[in-house]
Amino acid sequence: MFVKVLLLLSIFHFTKAGVWFHVGQACIGAKNNAYDEMVYGGPSSFVGAVKLIHTKGYVSNYRRAKSSYWGSNTGTPLTTLITDNRNRLLYPSPRVTTVSSGGWYTLPGYAGTSPNLVFSDFCAPQYFEKDRKLRVWYGEDWSGRTEADNHGKSCMQVYLYLMGH
């Protein structure tokens, strides 16, 4: 009986442990430092994931390329990043994938035209204080490499998964 009660309490606690917090809408361009800076207005909390949901627009890494939401429409290379206000990479986590010096990476299950993009790292959540600034970038724009022929603007809703205080 004790084990069943403990298991039920664990399940209840797990389902109540986190919540998606809407930070706002971001729109990013693909060159000329066209990042979008947001201010987290929620309670100080550990963040286990960031979810981006595409709402409109496209970005591309060269003139003749078809457009994508997060990086490349030709498959899985992605280049949408989250940094702090000093442009230090926060997401995707280096424990999950390797971001190239040009800002490109792959993330299993996601492609440039996926309707949403989720960065998660529940093993090493980041602590966000209220009013912390974060930036959403197109990776080539962030790195300053090969961005001259980039074009477009992609907009998204941004959510943080709050794990608790």
Ranges of residues in the chain with a pLDDT under 50 are: 1-15
Those residues whose C-beta lies under 8 Å from the C-beta of residue 11, and which sit 6 or more positions away, are none
pLDDT for the residue numbered 66: 72
Residues in the chain: 165
Q: Which class is domain 17-164?
A: mainly beta
CA distance 7 to 61: 50
CA distance 22 to 156: 11
Domain boundary assignment for the chain: 17-164
At position 55, the amino acid (one-letter code) is: T
pLDDT for the residue numbered 13: 42
Tell me if 111 sits within 8 A of 69, measured CB to CB: no
pLDDT for the residue numbered 17: 67
Q: How many CB atoms lie within 10 A of CB 56?
A: 11
Tell me if 150 sits within 8 A of 62, measured CB to CB: yes
CA distance 147 to 62: 8
Those residues whose C-beta lies under 8 Å from the C-beta of residue 5, and which sit 6 or more positions away, are none
- State pTM to two decimals: 0.87
